[in-house]
Amino acid sequence: MTAGEMTTDAFGAARWFDELSNSRARAVSPELIEWECRTWGSGRGRGAWTDAVLFTLVAKLFALDTGKNRDGRDELIVWVPLERFAEIAGLIERIGEVPEDWPWLDGDSDTALSAAAAALGRTVGELEEDYGLRKALQLV
């Protein structure tokens, strides 16, 4: 189901996130979605990169609050304001949810940065200035 087919309420947005791989989501208020990575340890940067990078990338690109659950699995949680849902869902639909298929991972370092910038709607300069984002994208 595409984001465009979803309703514009937090429950519909949560259902859309919930259908993504390795995801669990719920509306915690009419304006906020709690999107959780189901990889154990991802709340402390553990777990496979491929399992948690989409969450990390979205949180970093959209300056979203993050945390971790406290029930022993230590999973990464990203809080998504409903007003940002369409933009975030559009990005995920554009780049895909499978990191191994992202276009910037195929090329050499010169073309990879340009490919990532184009796919993410950023400039090469913005990526060059953001070491944390380049690291999340495996561009360092």
Q: What proportion of the chain, given as a percentage, has pLDDT over 70?
A: 81
Phi, psi of 83 (to 5 degrees): -65, -20
Three-state SS for 1?
coil
pLDDT score at 134: 87
For the chain, how many residues are written?
A: 140
Q: Residue 41: its pLDDT value, please? A: 45
Model pLDDT, residue 106: 76
Written in H, E and C, the secondary structure of 106-137 is CCCHHHHHHHHHHHHCCCHHHHHHCHHHHHHC
Cα-to-chain-centroid distance, residue 26: 16
Across the chain, mean pLDDT equals 84
Q: pLDDT by residue (tens digit) across 90-124?
A: 999 999 988 888 888 876 767 888 899 999 999 99
Instruction: State the alpha helices, DSSP H only, in the chain.
Output: 10-18, 49-61, 85-95, 109-120, 124-129, 131-136
**What is the rounded distance in angstroms from the CA atom of residue 131 to the CA atom of residue 12?**
34
Burial tier of 104 (Cβ tally within 10 Å: 0-12, 13-18, 19+): buried
Amino acid of residue 83: E
Residue 85: the pLDDT is 96
For residue 7, the 8-state DSSP code is -
